[in-house]
Amino acid sequence: MKPFIIGVAGGSGSGKSTVTEQIIHAVGSENVTIFIQDNFYLDRSNLTMEERNRVNFDHPAALDWELMRKLFDDLANGVPIQMPQYDFTTHTRKAETVTIAPAQIIVVEGIFGLYDETMCNHMALRIFVDTAADIRLMRRMKRDIGERARTLDSVMEQYSKFVRPMHKKFVEPTKEAAHIIIPHGSNKAALEMIVSRIQTVINGHKINLNHDMFFEEE
């Protein structure tokens, strides 16, 4: 059976992981596999620490798309994968990988979750988590200083130099590809809708809509 693939995109700190965790909690972890795009950041061990700190991690070119597409394809076709692991404190790929088994539901999560057209075409449900920039920045400061060994100055500099402009250029436009836009981040009503849609499909009660009722997709 083909898996039900969900894309969860949105800016850094918008609440993507939270929405993903809530979906998993609601439908049962045994039914879901998460495909976290953050694992696909390119390894920067060839650079000095100073050089690594100047990399634009918010440009799509910062990710290993070739590997990502290959592993996404495998998982979508029911093949277990070796997921790379990324260390945000050193900007390097760890030596170890984690085995990820396919499941009935696959959630692709990341700022570029709806960026790749081919991957998007496999997604039956595309979600964009839309949270105000000031809230996202506050959350990012808390996380990066607390968990990713950054200073307040470095977070502010990275945000104004890379995160903000790249969000506008590459992340925000992917909202266009979404079926559902969750305003203000995770909320109960949105989650209920998403989960009920998933349950309808995976419990076999797929609703067959009359296509004449809808506009042509562009």
Ligand X SMILES: O=c1ccn([C@@H]2O[C@H](COP(=O)(O)O)[C@@H](O)[C@H]2O)c(=O)[nH]1
Ligand Y SMILES: Nc1ncnc2c1ncn2[C@@H]1O[C@H](COP(=O)(O)OP(=O)(O)O)[C@@H](O)[C@H]1O
Residue 163 touches which of ligand Y, ligand X, none (CB < 5 to 8 A by kind)? ligand X
Rounded to a whole number of angstroms, the minimum distance from the CB of residue 10 to ligand Y is 6
Residue closer to ligand X by CB (options 102, 165) is 165
- Interacting residues with ligand X (CB under 6 A): 12-13, 38, 41, 57-58, 88, 91, 111, 163
Per partner kind, with CB cut-offs from 5 to 8 A, the member of ligand X, ligand Y, none near residue 57 is ligand X
Residue 172 beta carbon to ligand Y: minimum distance, rounded to whole angstroms? 14
Min separation Cβ 213 and ligand Y, Å: 33
Q: What does the alpha-carbon distance between residue 45 and residue 53 come to, in Å, rounded to a whole number?
A: 12
Interaction partner, residue 41 (ligand X, ligand Y, none; CB < 5-8 Å by kind): ligand X
- Given ligand X, ligand Y, none, residue 3, with its beta carbon under 5 to 8 Å by kind, binds none
Tell me how crowded residue 62 is: count the other CB atoms within 10 A of its CB: 18
Amino acid at 108: V
CB-nearer residue toward ligand X: 3 or 23: 23
Distance CA(218)–CA(75), nearest Å, equals: 28
How far is the C-alpha of 21 from the C-alpha of 158, rounded, in Å?
27
Helix (H) or strand (E) holding 100: strand 92-100
What token pair was written down for 44? 């920067």
| Percent of residues in the chain assigned helix, strand, coil, to nearest 5 | 45, 20, 35
Q: Which is nearer to ligand Y, 7 or 15 (CB)?
A: 15
Positions in the binding site for ligand Y (CB under 6 A): 10, 12-18, 139, 185-186
- Selection from ligand Y, ligand X, none that 126 binds (CB < 5 to 8 A by kind) is none
If the CB atoms of residues 68 and 163 are measured against ligand Y, the closer one turns out to be: 163
CB of 9 to ligand X, least distance (A): 9
The binder of 122, among ligand X, ligand Y, none, by C-beta within 5 to 8 A per type, is none
Between 3 and 9, whose beta carbon lies closer to ligand X? 9
Report residue 120 CA to chain centroid gap. 12
Cα 129 off chain centre by: 10
* E strand or H helix that includes residue 119: helix 117-121
**CB closest to ligand X, residue no:** 12
C-alpha 1, offset from chain centre: 24
Q: Is residue 12 classed as helix, strand or coil in its secondary structure?
A: coil
